[in-house]
Amino acid sequence: MAVPQDGLAFSTFVVGSLPRPQWVRDLIEDRKAGRISGEDAGKLLDDAIPLAIRMQERAGLDYVSDGEWRRESYVKVFADAVKGFKADLFGGGSSQFSSLAYPAVVSKLEPTRPIASEEVGFLRSHTSARTIVAIPSPYTIGRRMWSAEHSTSAYATREEFMEACIPIIRKEIQSLTEIGVDAIQLDDPWLALLVDPDYREREGITDIDHEIEMCIRCVNGATEGLDHLFVSLHMCHAHFNRRHGTRGPYDLIIGALGQMNVDRFAMEFATPDAGGIEVLRDFPADKVLGLGVIDHTDPHVETPEEVVSRVEAAMQYLPKERITLNPDCGFSPSSANPMDLDEAYLKLRAMCEGAGLLRDRHG
C-alpha cells in the first residue's frame, strides 16, 4: 500500500475541479464554438489558472490541482484529446442532466495529444505544493460516451470500447508520472451510480456483477505495471447545480474495492445521499480512505469542528494513518456547473483547519 508522500496525518486533497468565474466559463464555450482559437484561449487561461492554485494554497491544502479550469468537463477531456468522437450527440442521462450534451464515439480511437500532461506541467511550474491530477477511468468513459445508436459501427459493444480506452489511459498515467505529479486520480463516478436501483433501471443494467467486474478490469488495466505510483480512485453520485444524479449507500460495491490496483479511494460521505459511515467496516485493510468531509452540494459552510466530527466517526473503523480528507466531489466537474468560488474556498479552508485540529488532538 502506497501512502501520501507528505507523511502527514490527515493529509488534505482537493478532488480536482473548482468553480470557474463566469468569464472563464464563457471562454470555454467560445473555444468550443470556434469563436476563439484554442491557442488564444490557452493564453488567457494561463493567466487565470494561477488564481485557482493560489486559492488552494491559501486554504491550506496539502495537494492542489489547477482547478480543471481548462476543461469543459472531467470526462469530455478524453474526447478532446482522442480522435474518434462526435460532439453533443446525446444528453446527460437523467432529467436533471438532460441539458448537458455529450459526445459519442463514432470511429476508432486515435490519440492526438496528451490528456492532462500539459496541464500538469503548467501546474507544477506554478506551485511548490504537492500536486494531484484527475483523469477519467475507462469504465466511466465507456458508460458516458458509448451509445448504441451512434457507436456500434466503431465498437460493437460498450465493453469493447472500454477495452480500447485502457491503453490510452495507461500511457497517460505513465506520462504524468514521468512529469513528476505527486498523485494521480482516476475519476470513476459511474461505479458509485450502480448502487441506485433507479439509475440501473434507467440505464437498463440488469447484471450489476458484470458492471463491477468491468470497472475492476478497467482500473487494473489502466494501472498495470505502474505499482510505484500513488493512485486514487474517486467515486461519487454525480451532481449538477447542487443536486445528485443518484443516491444510495456503497454496500453493493464496497467488496470490489479490495480487488483494484489503487492505493486510495476518495469517497462521498458528507452528503446523506451516500448513506452512512458504517459501510467502512468492510473497507479493504490495505487501502487508504479519502474521506469526503465537505458536502459540495450544500451551501452551508462546514465548521472545522464539523470536519473533525466526521473524521472521528470514520476512526471507529480505520486508523488515522489510513485516513485522508477531501470534499465529497469536485466542486464543478462540468464548466457549466453554477457553483460559487468563494464558497468553495471557505469550505476547503474549513477542511484544512479541521485537519489541523485533528493533528493536534490525535498526533
Give me the pLDDT at residue 99, please. Answer: 44
Q: What is the pLDDT of residues 30-88, one digit of tens each?
A: 999 999 999 999 999 999 999 999 999 999 999 999 999 999 999 999 999 999 999 98
Q: In percent, how much of the chain has pLDDT > 90?
A: 87
Residue 136, helix vs strand vs coil: strand
Q: Identify the architecture of domain 22-362 in CATH.
A: Alpha-Beta Barrel (3.20)
pLDDT reading at 93 higher than 80? no
Identify the band that residue 8 occupies on the pLDDT scale cut at 50, 70 and 90.
confident
Whether the per-residue pLDDT at 95 is higher than 80: the answer is no
- Provide the pLDDT confidence category of residue 240 given band limits of 50, 70 and 90: confident
pLDDT band, residue 239 (cuts 50/70/90): confident
Q: What was the pLDDT predicted at 97?
A: 44
Write down the pLDDT at residue 96.
Answer: 43
- Between CA 322 and CA 318 the distance in angstroms is 7
pLDDT higher than threshold 70 for residue 211: yes
- Whole-angstrom Cα distance, residue 54 to residue 50? 6
Q: Does residue 349 have a pLDDT over 60?
A: yes
Burial of 310 (0-12, 13-18, 19+ CB in 10 A): buried
Of 95-99, 135-139, 180-184, the poorest mean pLDDT is in 95-99
pLDDT over threshold 90, residue 168: yes
Q: What is the mean pLDDT of residues 325-337?
A: 93
What pTM was estimated for this model as a whole?
Answer: 0.94
Q: Mutual orientation of helices 341-362 and 38-59 as an angle, nearest 10°? A: 40
Q: What is the pLDDT of residue 4?
A: 65
Helix (H) or strand (E) holding 351: helix 341-362
Summarize pLDDT for 264-281 with one digit per residue, the tens.
999 999 999 999 999 999
| Predicted local confidence at residue 242, as pLDDT | 84
Is the pLDDT score of 158 beyond 60? yes
Q: Cell numbers of 336, please?
A: 457549466
Is the predicted pLDDT of residue 90 greater than 60, yes or no? yes
Per DSSP, what are the bridge partners of residue 73? 334
